[in-house]
Structure formats: structure tokens, C-alpha cells
Chains A and B, each alone.
Chain A
Amino acid sequence: MRTQMIALSAVLAASLFHATEVLAHHSNVAFEVTKVVTIAGVVKAFEWRNPHTWVILTIDDGKGGKVDWAVEGRAPGVLLRAGWTRNSLQPGDMITVDMSPAKDGSKTGLVARVIKADGTILPNAGPAQQ
């Protein structure tokens, strides 16, 4: 975990000068789906829409500043069956996100799961999808 956070900090530092990503819709092929890194921060926005949901969160950039990440999640229908609702994440919530980083090094990722401050786990798929 520590190694991954350090590696992620390096990625963050390298990409600081880039503008925040727009919420472009991606295919899964845009991400390193077999890698999962962990980031933690404060929810800025939660977009509940098809074909993919979005979590925008603000995290420490490791240099005393803040940076926004836009993390792409699965479709509302899938997440509903996994226990999410459109109100699962509110601006200001502290969350931890396990995610696969983008291949292009941008400040985006593909959600593997979200853990809220009270320990609630929001997984990627529900039991009916196994």
C-alpha cells in the first residue's frame, strides 16, 4: 500500500501542471484494470449518470496543495444492485477509493471500490452479478 501511494504521488507530481480532466467517457481499455492503487480525499461531486458514474475528489498533492481526480465508476444500474444509490456520496464526504489508473497517466481512474469514512464499503458489483 505504502509503495503504491508513493508511486501514485510521483504520478501526481508529474501531472500537476495538467488541467483537470473533463468527464470524458472511456472504455475499460483506457485503464490498467489489473492494477489497483488507493487514493483518499474529499468528495467534490458525484455524477450519477450513464454509461459510467463519476466521483470527483480532492486529494493532497503531496506538496502541500490540493488536486482533483475524476474517477470513473460503473453504470447506475450495476451500482444500484451493488448497494449504491445516487445519494451514496455527498460533497464533503471523506472517502478512500481503490482504483485502476489510466494508461495515459491522466488524473483519472476506474473504480474498483469506494470505502466511506464510517467503514461502509461500496463495491463494484452486487451478488446477483457474480
Chain B
Amino acid sequence: MIELRLGVFLFWLIPAALCAQTPDFSGVYYPINPFGANALGRGAAKSQQAPAAGKQKGPPPRPTQSAPLADGSQGRSPDAPSLTPEYMAKWEVIRKSRMAGSSEFDNTAKCLPPGMPAMMTMAYGMEVMQNKDKITFFSELNDALRRVYLDGRKPTQKILDDPTYAGYSTGHWEGDTLVVDTVALHENSFIEGFSPHSDAMTVKERIRFQSPGLLEDRITVTDPKALTKPWDTVKTYRKATRGTDELREFACPEGLSDAK
């Protein structure tokens, strides 16, 4: 009888102990400062802090910006990826196009996926779906998703020969941290903003809860052709609460037919 009770106890204890080592990231999240703390400017930030749709007394502060300034007219941030001369030249071409108001190099405007690692900005919100073998990150912006395989599989040559926007991601747990490697990324996307990269780019991530409900993704991008040194960035996301925990369908091509 005692052995039976011990067996039942261990039956519950062992899975519980395993679960305790692998946090559950499932849920909807919104990014904190997705475009940097000062991207919108002081006035716009103030206006965004106003309560959502409602009547206010007195004249409300007028926004000073409608969107982050991202056409290249402000130059490169000191935090931007350090590009090799060849890729800096490509960046300058794209910059001129964007400053002129063209969407030629804007994948988002063409309803294309943002790709890795740019998609982890998750400007419009992110939904994480997780089980023991796979974790899926969904971006409301452009209905983009990526899958991270956790079951020990590795990218085959067939996978490596077929690069995509999101690439091919495999991961494993190191304590409470999910460590993810992404390969098989093609050139038709950007590292962040509109910094170009080569097909040799790889991305390493360490994802964990900084504190309950506050998810952190520490990203390291390596590209021997496009970068003079690996580029590091950290994205943080706050878990949504009831009322804002449903993302909406994006259906970008609704407006694509008359895109220009």
C-alpha cells in the first residue's frame, strides 16, 4: 500500500517538476516601446497616453506625429546593425527611395511577411501558442507566423536550400530560458527597419520571463557578409489581460489590389 502511494506520488511529482522548468509563454502580448522609447516624440507619446476614445474636458494636447519617423531622413541610429560597406551602399539606395515616399522597398506595404528577426518587433501584438514539441509566434501585423520546433529535429539540407522570410527555427530549454536558433532566411527581408542582410544571416534568441507577464527576447543576429559584428537587441512584451487579449484578423490583401 505504501509502495502504491509512493508510486502515485512520483507519478504526479515527476511531470510537475518537469513542467516547473519549462515556463508557459502561451498568450497574447503587446510590445513595450516597439520602435524605441523616443520614436514617436514627446507630443505623440503624450497623446497616446490619453484614454481611449472618450470625452475629455478642455482642449486635449495635439499630436505632433502620426507614426514613427522611419524613412531614413534621420540617418542611422547608433544602435542600428553595423553594416559592411557593400550593405551600407544598399541601405543608402533604399533610404533615398523611402525619403522620396516610395514603398518600393517596403515589404509591409506589399503585405509580405516582416520576416525574422524584424517580425519580433510585433508592433500590433503577438500571440504565442506552445506545447512541448513546438512553440508558434503569431504577429497580428500581416498575419505572420513562425514555428520553433522543440522536439530535437534539426534543419535538413532540403530546408537550408529553401530559405523563407521566417526561416527555420529550432529551440531547447535552458532552465527557464528558451534558446532558439533560426537559419534558412532569404534576402528579401530586413534585420530591423530597412537594414538589409544576406542569405548567410542567422539569428539566436534567448526568451524568458523577466517577471510574471513580462516576456523578454534577447536577439543576436550574425551575418558575415552584411554585418561587421553581430548585432544585439532586446524586445520586451507585456502579456495582455482580459479585454485586450484577442488579436484581430489582418487580411492585408483587402487593400493590396490598389497598392502603389
* A50 and B103 contacting across the interface, CB-CB below 8 Å: no
| A92, chain B: closest CB distance, angstroms | 19
Interface residues on A, range: 35 or more
**B167-198 vs A: 1/0 string, CB under 8 Å?**
00000000000000000000000000000000
Q: Given that A29-B70, A36-B64, A49-B255 are contacting pairs, would A119 and B55 also be in contact in the complex, using a CB cutoff of 8 Å?
A: yes
Contact B41 A34 (CB under 8 A): yes
B106 interfacial by beta-carbon distance below 8 Å: yes
Contact status of A27 and B106, CB under 8 A, knowing A36-B62, A118-B55: yes
Given the contacts A50-B252, A126-B244, A31 and B124 also touching, CB distance less than 8 Å: no
Give the complex CA separation of A43 and B66 in angstroms: 20
Verify B51–A25 contact, CB threshold 8 A: no
A51 to B101 alpha-carbon distance, docked (Å): 18
Q: Are B54 and A83 in contact (CB under 8 A)?
A: yes
Nearest CB in chain B to that of A24: its residue? B260
Is A51 touching B67 in the complex (CB atoms < 8 A)?
no
B18 located at the interface, meaning its Cβ lies under 8 Å from any Cβ of chain A in the complex = no
B244 touches A128 (CB 8 A): yes
Contact residues in B for A22 (Cβ distance below 8 Å): 258
B101 with A30: CB separation less than 8 A? yes
User: How far, in angstroms, from A30 to B103 measured CA to CA in the complex?
Assistant: 8
A121 adjacent to B53 (CB under 8 Å):
yes
Chain A nearest CB: distance from B212 CB in Å?
A: 17
CA A123 – CA B46 in complex, angstroms?
Answer: 11
Describe B's contact surface by its main secondary structure.
loop
Query: Which residue on A lies nearest to B64, using beta carbons?
Result: A36
Complex Cα gap A24–B48 (Å): 27
Which of B48, B125, B253, B258 interacts with A123 by CB under 8 Å?
B48
Q: Mark B80-99, 1 if CB is under 8 A from A, else 0.
A: 00000000000000000011
> How many of B's residues come within 8 Å of A, CB to CB?
56
Chain B proximity of A129: nearest CB distance (Å): 6
A29-B103, A118-B55 given; A34·B255 CB < 8 A: no
Residues of B near A31 (CB, < 8 A) are 66-67, 101
Q: Is the Cβ of B67 less than 8 Å from the Cβ of A120?
A: no
Q: Which of A52-92 contact B (CB under 8 A)?
A: 52, 75-78, 80-84, 88
**Residues of chain B within 8 A of A98, CB atoms compared:** 62-63, 66
Inter-subunit contact B101/A103 (CB<8 Å): yes
B248→A77 contact, CB < 8 A: yes
Name the B residues within 8 Å of A112 (CB-CB): 44, 47, 63, 65-66
Contact of A77 with B255 in the complex, beta carbons under 8 Å: no
Contact A25 B108, beta carbon cutoff 8 Å? no
Q: How distant is B68 from chain A, measured CB to nearest CB, in Å?
A: 7
Most buried by A among B44, B101, B106, B252: B101
User: What are 14 pairs between A and B in contact, CB < 8 Å?
Assistant: A24-B258, A31-B66, A33-B67, A33-B68, A38-B62, A75-B124, A82-B53, A83-B52, A83-B54, A121-B54, A121-B55, A123-B52, A129-B125, A130-B45
Using a CB–CB distance below 8 Å, which chain B residues touch chain A?
30, 32, 41, 44-45, 47-56, 60, 62-71, 98-103, 106, 108-109, 111, 124-125, 140-142, 240, 244, 247-256, 258-260
Binding site for B on A (CB under 8 A): 22-31, 33-34, 36, 38, 49-52, 75-78, 80-84, 88, 98-100, 102-104, 109-113, 115, 118-130
